[in-house]
Amino acid sequence: MVKVEKQKDGRWVAEDGTIVGREIELQTGTIILENEAGEQKMAIYGTIINDVFNAFCTGSSCGAQCVLAGKGACRYNRKIADDAGYYLLMEESE
């Protein structure tokens, strides 16, 4: 999967700078993009809202300082938060 980010002008750009397309429809958990190749789908992974991460982490008994906590669940949840974002779902080649 390729991580992509939305630009201010509405374009979605991959990490390497390639323009993926423009958002044309927002559905629950999926963004449909329009580009020269037709439609591509993206999925949301993890959470990119720090308050949501902290609430989730403290709810997992990691303690108030969940970013600094040494428990496995906290480290795992922090990895999810760090990797969070939108990813382009690539078609598997046959």
The residue to which tokens 């990895």 are assigned: 79
The Cα–Cα gap between 60 and 46 comes to 16
pLDDT for residue 17: 82
Q: Read off the pLDDT of residues 53-81 as tens digits, 9 standing for 90 and up.
A: 566 665 655 655 555 445 565 666 666 66
Q: Looking at the whole model, is its pTM more than 0.75? A: no
Range 42-52 burial, b when 16+ CB lie within 10 A, else e = beeebbeeeee
Summarize the confidence of residues 14-34 as an average pLDDT.
64
Task: Provide CB contacts within 8 A for 41, sequence distance 6+.
Answer: 30, 31, 32, 33, 88, 89
The residue to which tokens 């906590």 are assigned: 69
Most confident segment among 11-15, 34-38, 47-51, 60-64: 11-15
pLDDT over 50 (residue 94) = no
pLDDT for residue 12: 78
| CA 76 remoteness from chain centre | 16
pLDDT over 60 (residue 41) = no
